[in-house]
């Protein structure tokens, strides 16, 4: 899953895809590099980020989704917490909703996903991007994340979303300290109890910088390490900025495991 942030303030690439044309070039490159899904977002969810209006979020994402769909660049995932944005994105051609709140931010989101026949990524997060740093208190982080994702899964199933269209994401870096993110990656197998494919998004995250002491754009080696270990521990989908190196690394990891 390739990350396409159509935002001016994302933590590592804000403003890089400021126009639809730039986003389309990045989308084509990602598909050529081996991306299966394009994940497009119009609101930064980095820690401390302020929300944007629904109108601004739609203005950022809809032209790209329509154009990318017309050029056969799908499947497209819309990264949003907003049910109205999700509904319009699905009508424009997106087929998946990636909700960092796990359907808990907007009460209408589960119904929109179900009515649209879309897939959904249920991510774990507490609070909002602006408040989540203060909510990273856990006894057993892996167990509590699993329990809270189970609540999101219940919301999805109760709304009529088929289990086969649901993916779970432990939300690396979302209301998690660096140590908690590492513990989640190590204990990823515990999410298997939810009986849904597991997505991870460690790409360029701050916990890698804490270990390596480098800025976001220099965290590819750490991202590769995190993805390979997550793959070994059960992850099936990887949300990343740098597609080609991750595809190659995972291919080698699979070859070693199959040898």
Options 60, 126, 204, 239, the catalytic residue: 239
User: Helix or strand or coil: residue 86?
Assistant: helix
Q: Is 104 a catalytic residue?
A: no
The distance from CA 49 to its chain's CA centroid, rounded to whole angstroms, is 16
Mutual angle of helices 178-186 and 220-232, in 10-degree steps: 40
Peptide bond into 139 cis (omega under 30): no
What tokens were used for 238? 């990887």
The distance from CA 181 to its chain's CA centroid, rounded to whole angstroms, is 15
User: Which has the closest alpha carbon to 146: 94, 192, 97, 179?
Assistant: 192
Q: Is 205 a catalytic residue?
A: yes
Options 88, 104, 176, 205, the catalytic residue: 205
Q: How far apart are CA 51 and CA 28, in angstroms?
A: 29
Residue 84 CB neighbour total at 10 angstroms:
16
Residues marked active site are found at 205, 239
């Amino acid at each position: 899953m390739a990350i396409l942030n159509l935002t001016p303030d994302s933590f590592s690439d804000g403003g890089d895809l400021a126009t639809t044309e730039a986003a389309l070039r990045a989308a084509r490159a990602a598909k050529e590099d081996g991306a299966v899904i394009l994940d497009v977002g119009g609101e930064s969810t980095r820690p401390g980020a302020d929300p944007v209006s629904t109108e601004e979020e739609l203005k950022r994402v809809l032209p790209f989704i329509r154009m990318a769909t017309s050029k056969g660049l799908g499947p497209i995932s819309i990264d949003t917490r907003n049910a109205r944005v999700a509904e319009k994105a699905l009508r424009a051609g997106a087929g998946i909703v990636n909700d960092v709140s796990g359907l808990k931010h907007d009460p209408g989101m589960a119904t929109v996903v179900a009515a649209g026949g879309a897939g959904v990524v249920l991510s774990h997060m507490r609070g909002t991007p602006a408040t989540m740093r203060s909510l990273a208190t856990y006894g057993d982080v892996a167990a509590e994340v699993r329990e809270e994702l189970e609540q999101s899964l219940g919301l999805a199933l109760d709304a009529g979303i088929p289990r086969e269209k649901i993916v779970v994401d432990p939300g690396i870096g979302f209301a998690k300290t660096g140590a908690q993110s590492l513990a989640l990656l190590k204990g990823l197998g515990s999410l298997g109890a939810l009986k849904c494919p597991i997505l991870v998004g460690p790409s360029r995250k701050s916990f890698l910088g804490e270990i390596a002491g480098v800025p976001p754009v220099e965290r590819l080696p750490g991202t590769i390490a995190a993805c390979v270990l997550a793959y070994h521990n059960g992850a099936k989908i990887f949300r990343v900025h740098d597609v080609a190196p991750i595809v190659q690394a995972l291919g080698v990891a699979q070859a070693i495991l199959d040898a």
